[in-house]
Structure 1
Amino acid sequence: MLAGVLLAFAAAGAPAAERVADPTRAFVDGYDPSQNDFFANTPERTVLLRIRDDLDGDGVADLALSESSTWGNAGGQWLLFRGELGSGYAYWGTLFFSPGSAAIGPRPGELTAYVRVGATRGSLRVHRLAAGGITLAGDRSLDLENPADRAAYDTALRAGRRAAVEHCRLLAYRRDPGGCWQPGLGR
């Protein structure tokens, strides 16, 4: 639970000014302003993950990047980049989530994620994504064995849309950065 609180704090305080032309290439080359422990596996076992979607509702595609070695049963770390018209991306911050338990919206600029901390317990977090950065707008502890909590979970995740995740093996990306991406998590 403490790790989740620290991640939410890190995301809320992350600077949103650093610009990157190609975040995926930079990430593979070691760019990580969050200073997380990305790329802990050997290259042969590493799978890149990305979400390309308009996360803040401004009409410009944003980007979330992760890779498999940071993942556990509850999800993994994602570096988020805000798309800018004609000028690449700006680093936004880092969030911990699993795309299967996250929803974009329903309000523009909101990302709701359930972060599991046990078999049935976790936290439903609402993040606001805006030009100035990412803030934690809501955090509610849930026990999914409790019918009211289960209903809150289901309602929150159905209210938005699911992010389309793509995967690419790291070695395949190095050979063909544009042609290696496949739908899903690729596990």
Structure 2
Amino acid sequence: MFPSMIAGFALSFSLILAIGAQNAFVLRQGLRREHVFPLCMTCAVSDAILIAAGVAGFGTLAQAAPWFETVMRYGGAIFLTWYALRSFQSAWRGGAMLDTDAGQRTSLRAAMLTVLAFTWLNPHVYLDTVVLIGSISAQYDDRMGFAIGAVSSSFVFFFSLGYGARVLSPIFARPRAWQILDVLIGIVMLGIAMKLVIM
């Protein structure tokens, strides 16, 4: 069981390591220390559901419903573009989102809806967690161990990202740092959106 768990952990961790829309949002909320636990838990549990679906053999959804991938791609692109524009607007205003004492705090409901959209409207999530992890898990006799390892990596990654962001808090005590972060997040979001449209 142990070798399968290590393989699942390593694969899943490598897939979610790159900074994407979901990771950038969790990082930003971690820096602001807003709703970190529920956001990290939502991301990890969502990954667990998708990984379990893939390992259980549901990776053929896109083949069974060809329209699903197209709807997810364009819906995700629209959402990511909207969020990118919001990030650029925040940067233009001079790091206004840092001012948490002036009514700028993100409500739990808004934060949860945003992270759920980043998670479930991203077709790459389905390709990585359901299709790729699901297909690779089939190569192992101990698929349960592989799945446990993959799910564990999601919990380790997201909670490390959310709570580890606090280490960077001294840097982000300055509005200029938040402006730079918002610009970078906006660029990441737009890049992913464009990739979704032209893929």
Structure whose residues are more often strand by fraction: 1
Structure whose residues are more often helix by fraction: 2
Larger Rg, first or second structure (1 or 2): 2
TM-score in terms of structure 1 length? 0.29
Give the structure, 1 or 2, with the largest relative contact order (CA under 8 Å, sep 6 or more): 2
TM-score in terms of structure 2 length? 0.28
